[in-house]
């Protein structure tokens, strides 16, 4: 997070503004709220603590590299607490990747897995994988819950 000449979130912003197509995971000693939220706003794809076990660091890389997002448990707790306390102006959708939000919209719109796969030109298995990640990240475990979440977060209109 704290590099010699620039902060991690500033580096991410700079790379993104130049169109550099790179995925970013912040690895930090602390989970300072401001650093965390600035990093998320900058567009990081993951945030873990330096105290995380090597297995979690590997899992973060394996999740972020193909297009997912990964936040360690402590960071997810902070994000969830802020969501519950309405501290953030930005809805908690930021824990989802763009593709996951796209799939969430289609799920909440009532499309089947096959219909979503056809529309996005991917396999049904890919859609199911995204659905499981969405459910896991949001701690919602059925389509009705995902639909209610999408409505409350203004992802779709009822």
Q: Which CATH superfamily is domain 1-93 in?
A: Response regulator (3.40.50.2300)
Task: Yes or no: say if 27 and 49 are a contact pair by the CB < 8 Å rule.
Answer: yes
Domain spans, the chain:
1-93, 96-158
**pLDDT, tens digit (0-9, with 9 covering 90-100), for 103-126:** 999 998 888 899 999 999 999 999
Nearest to 133 by CA among 71, 80, 43, 50: 71
**Cβ atoms within 10 A of the Cβ of 44, count?**
25
The pTM (predicted TM-score) of the whole model is 0.53
Q: Does domain 96-158 have CATH number 1.10.10.10?
A: yes
**pLDDT, tens digit (0-9, with 9 covering 90-100), for 51-70:** 999 999 999 999 888 777 78
**pLDDT, tens digit (0-9, with 9 covering 90-100), for 4-27:** 888 888 888 888 788 777 888 988
What is the Cα Rg of the chain in Å?
16
């Amino acid at each position: 997070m704290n590099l010699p000449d620039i902060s991690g979130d500033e580096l991410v912003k700079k790379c993104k503004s130049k169109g550099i197509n790179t995925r970013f995971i912040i690895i930090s000693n602390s989970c300072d709220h401001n650093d965390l939220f600035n990093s998320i706003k900058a567009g990081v794809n993951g945030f873990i603590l330096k105290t995380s076990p090597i297995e979690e660091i590997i899992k973060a890389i394996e999740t972020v590299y193909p297009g997912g997002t990964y936040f360690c448990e402590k960071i997810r707790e902070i994000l969830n607490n802020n969501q519950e306390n309405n501290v953030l102006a930005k809805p908690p959708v930021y824990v989802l990747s763009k593709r996951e939000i796209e799939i969430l919209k289609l799920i909440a719109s009532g499309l089947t897995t096959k219909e979503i796969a056809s529309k996005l030109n991917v396999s049904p298995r890919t859609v199911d994988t995204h659905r499981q990640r969405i459910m896991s990240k949001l701690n919602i475990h059925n389509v009705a819950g995902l639909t209610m979440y999408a409505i409350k977060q203004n992802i779709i209109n009822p």
